[in-house]
A and B are shown apart, each in its own frame.
Chain A
Amino acid sequence: MRTIRPLALAAAGALVLSACGGGESVDTGGGGGGGGDNVLVAAVSAQPDQFDPHVTSAYPSFQVLENVYDTLVVPNAEDLTMEPSLAESWETSVDGLTWTFTLREGVTFHDGSEFDSADVVYSYNRIIDDELANSYRFANVASVEAPDPQTVVLTLTQPTPNLLALIGAFKGMSILPENAAEDLDLTTEANGTGPFELESSDASSTVLTAYADYWGGAPAIDGVEFRYVTEPAAALTALENGEVQWTDNVPPQQVSDLSGSEDVELASTSSVDYWYMSMNYARAPFDNPAVRRAIATAIDRAEVTEAARFEAARANQTAIPEDSFYYYDYAPFQADEEAARGLLEEAGVSTPITMGLMVTDEFPESVTAAQVIASQLEPIGITVEVEVLDFATWLDRQDQGDFDAFMLSWLGNIDPADFYEQQHITDGSSNYQGYTNPQVDQLLTQAATEVDEDARKALYDQAAKIIVDDVSYLYLYNPDVVQAWVPGLSGYRIRADRAINFEEVELP
């Protein structure tokens, strides 16, 4: 028929046009075609929001940045103790206020320029002066100086035993080349010292190419393509098909099936993350310690953990996981409905109490956990209204203090200060629940400067005990890190801090 032909032509034309439209943004290799011969295709669940390491706080961004930038020190893959990276060695003055780092020689940035102490000074001062996302980690740093190109000196206001963890726990404290913020658009471009260069990033994937002059030796693979696949079913199918070679998008309920599978190599390890719930001290009756303790008594953590994570987590009434040196074995609460009800009665609190519990669907496991908690609190007279929000709204309301209770997790905690300080010290930058206890403040402050490890642990144990008894946070569990890859892939280490590092990977 006459009109159909022009339609068909137009349609075909549009198809070709659309192809042109879509083709511009993907420059090389990657772009979805299977990754090329020696390129690792990794299926990740979300797109990075931007690539400025000092500004972003999004885990998807750090998945990429881990391979592009370096810090002075990094956590060891096995036990997370801090080891040399861009800094080869360091010395502390006797009074603990001066740290002198000797930098590695022969390191170059992706653009070929040489790395030296001026870059470190620039990077740290940028974070401090511009008050960027991680400036709180430099709170004790009075000055950063570079007496010579190979040396950086940090002068502190007080002894800081965990300084290494503060400056090296993750890539938020990356070393940028001098004046990087003026020379580059750091949100979309990168110039680092890491094993891979940022090649391109678009709506489907982010592509990295190997940096031959990497100070740790050129990577065995030619590049990495981080492909965004939000749907776990799709990610796992892609892995089984060989379309992708690595993924962290593994739902916990699949773990037992996958560990038996021959098509897929599954790995899991306990992590340093923890999930918790907290109630708002600014809203009655949640400022009443008896109410908080009643809630802590009514909740059966084992059940919550089992429901949310299946086997892939360990219930915990404190924050620090079992395999850490700083683990404190303290579990004062027994799940006991009767006792919980008793606590409420004694306190003279009238039920029913309504509690809005804010969770985000960014983490489906928390929605499940919230529902279990709701059913556990109902018998004691607390009606929980689960509020599922998108992450942006969730963060906003948390910031505003507009909540009764919220549930989330903290990732990447290396040092005990990471686990406890900012969340529970009065006016801490992460103390959204509004907890204040002078004793805890004193203990945390003291522990921050205590150099002796055992003494330090003792202090944190004491602080933790009070925090747990007061139920500033109601700790739930430490999830495992679960990742999967194709059989035969070697050189990849799964890490408890969830950092993803592909520098030594070899494809089968």
Chain B
Amino acid sequence: MVLAGVSVLVFSLIHLVKGDPVRLALGTRYSQEAYDALRARNGLDLPLVEQYVTWAGRALTGDLGVSFRSGEPVTALIGERLGATLTLAIAAILLALLIAIPLGTISALRPRSAVDRIATVISQIGISVPDFWLAIVLILVFSGTLGWLPTGGYVPITEDPVEWARRLVLPAIAVGVVSGSVITRFVRSSVLEALGSDHVRTAQAKGLPARQVFSWHVLRNALLPLVTVTGVQLAYLLSGVVVVEIVFSWPGLGQLALQAVQARDYPVLQGAVLLFAVIFLLINLLVDLLYTRIDPRIRR
């Protein structure tokens, strides 16, 4: 239902944008015949509703059409970039969690102490820096001045694991630090919440040792918001972090979508947005599943 809604939305949006994709695809000089032919071939001379229905029908069978710009199938275009986007998103999320869980927990264990305040400011700075800015600085320092790491580009792990790893480091940091800072806040507040909960107070009142207090129950409740926010971040990262991709020449879905908007390449844009919506739904599903596993009391 949401999927349908999203696709209708993007369909209507893209057709609201000025700019004739046929003219853009043909370049500066072309004949009226060529124009008409390309238009007809892409079904652009049909009424909008019919265009949408045709597209939707084909999409259900997995055929997302071909790009106006290059004539390649949309699924192929998306497929070749999916790997790059997935890699970066997952690496960044892992890094983010690695930062957030320790930092947030320490903060929560000693709220409003000096440690907490410092950790707060650090993670807040992390959210406050524009990610493309961080990206440029990282390149200048680590690739330029120090020359340790390459400036970008993507190599699949199957080709060259070492290069794959080296190229992944800086982009993952640029994106992961920001996501990590976001998640830290949630770890902090949810651990605080869990610590303040009745379970814990009771356990503390009973004089139970710390290890038993910080039991699975406590942390389980703290996990719920963490899972949710991680899901949100992951969905965001998977829809492509356009500006970071541009700075690192990372061939991801974000750049594809941006180019599609600029070239008025409707099929590619619709295919990409459909994919993003699917990802969003899948992650929501995954989060819900994890919820029920973490806390059986929650039934959706």
Contact = CB atoms under 8 A, between A and B. Distances in A.
B246 A130 contact: no
Contact of B156 (A14, A23, A241): A23
Contacts, number: 194
A237 B140 CA distance: 8
Given A3-B290, A234-B247, A392-B264, A21 B150 contact: no
A204 B249 contact: yes
A230 B249 contact: yes
A17 B84 CA distance: 11
Interface stretch (A50-58, A66-74, A467-475): A50-58
B158 A20 contact: yes
Contact of A390 (B91, B164, B219, B262): B262
Interface stretch (B30-38, B51-59, B190-198): B30-38
Interface residues of B, number: 68
A49 interface: yes
A133 B30 contact: yes
B139 A237 contact: yes
Given A3-B293, A234-B143, A237-B144, A23 B28 contact: no
B147 interface: yes
Interface string B132-175: 00001001100110010011111111111001100100000000
A254 interface: no
B211 interface: no
Interface in A240-256: 240-241, 243
Interface in B194-208: none
Nearest to B255: A203
A396 B263 CA distance: 10
A188 B24 contact: no
A329 interface: no
Nearest to A10: B286
A229 interface: yes
The prevalent SS among residues of B at the interface is helix
A131 B251 CA distance: 34
Nearest to A15: B90
Nearest to B86: A18
B143 A241 contact: yes
A412 interface: no
A56 B81 CA distance: 23
Contacts of A21: 79, 82-83, 86
A234 B248 CA distance: 7
B291 to A, nearest CB: 10
A94 interface: no
A24 B290 contact: no
A311 interface: no
A399 interface: yes
Nearest to B72: A188
A185 B158 contact: no
Contact of B69 (A24, A49, A234): A49
Interface stretch (A29-37, A99-107, A151-159): A29-37
Nearest to A1: B219
A9 interface: no
A227 to B, nearest CB: 6
Nearest to A239: B151
Contacts of A58: 27
A430 B264 CA distance: 23
A243 B151 contact: yes
Interface in A214-233: 227-231, 233
A241 B77 CA distance: 31
Contact of B27 (A14, A133, A204): A133
B94 interface: yes
Given A3-B293, A56-B27, A57-B27, A203 B139 contact: no
A22 B84 contact: yes
A102 to B, nearest CB: 31
A19 B159 CA distance: 9
Contacts of B85: 18
Given A1-B216, A202-B80, A238-B152, 5 more contacts: A130-B31, A205-B153, A241-B143, A241-B151, A392-B263
15 contacts: A1-B216, A15-B86, A15-B90, A22-B84, A22-B154, A23-B158, A25-B80, A131-B33, A227-B249, A231-B247, A233-B151, A234-B143, A234-B247, A234-B249, A241-B147
Interface of B: 18-20, 23-24, 26-31, 33-34, 69-72, 76-77, 79-87, 90-91, 93-94, 136, 139-140, 143-144, 147, 150-160, 163-164, 167, 216, 219, 223, 246-249, 251, 255-256, 262-264, 290, 293-294
Interface of A: 1, 3, 11, 14-26, 31-34, 49-50, 55-58, 130-136, 185, 187-188, 202-205, 227-231, 233-235, 237-238, 240-241, 243, 390-393, 395-396, 399, 429-430
